[in-house]
Amino acid sequence: MNIILRSSTETPNEFVDSHPWLDKVALGNAQDRSKRQRDYAIAITGLIYILNIVDAVVDAQLYEPRHDPDLSFAPTVVQDQYGFAPPKTGLSLSYRF
């Protein structure tokens, strides 16, 4: 029968028990590195999001609408050719070849 004696300041930890070569310093360093990488990932994601917003604003400012005379979008009044229904308003999309 093997008995492992612990000091009164140590708490049982199954990770340390299964990896006895790791100590508190190594685990602390790994935790600090993970937190630093998490913070970098959050900062980079925020930077990419802000750059995406700036790109959209600049793109919207530089956009010049295309004025093609062959393509028109205008309000129109639709008449019933047989005269059974009253005229209706609507939108017309016209394209000339």
pLDDT digits (tens, 9 = 90+) for 3-43: 555 554 566 666 666 766 777 788 888 899 999 999 999 99
Residue ranges making up the domain that contains 20: 14-95
pLDDT at position 37 is 97
Q: Is the pTM of this model over 0.85?
A: no
91 φ/ψ angles, rounded to the nearest 5 degrees? -115, 145
Is there a domain that residue 85 lies in? Answer: yes
- Residue 87 above 90 pLDDT? no
- Contact, 95 vs 70, CB < 8 A? yes
Residue-by-residue DSSP string for 8-62: TTPPP-HHHHH-TT--HHHHHHHHHHHHHHHHHHHHHHHHHHHHHHHHHHHHHHH
- Residue 79 above 90 pLDDT? no
Query: In total, how many domains does the chain have?
Result: 1
Is there a domain that residue 82 lies in? Answer: yes
Is there a domain that residue 52 lies in? Answer: yes
Is there a domain that residue 55 lies in? Answer: yes
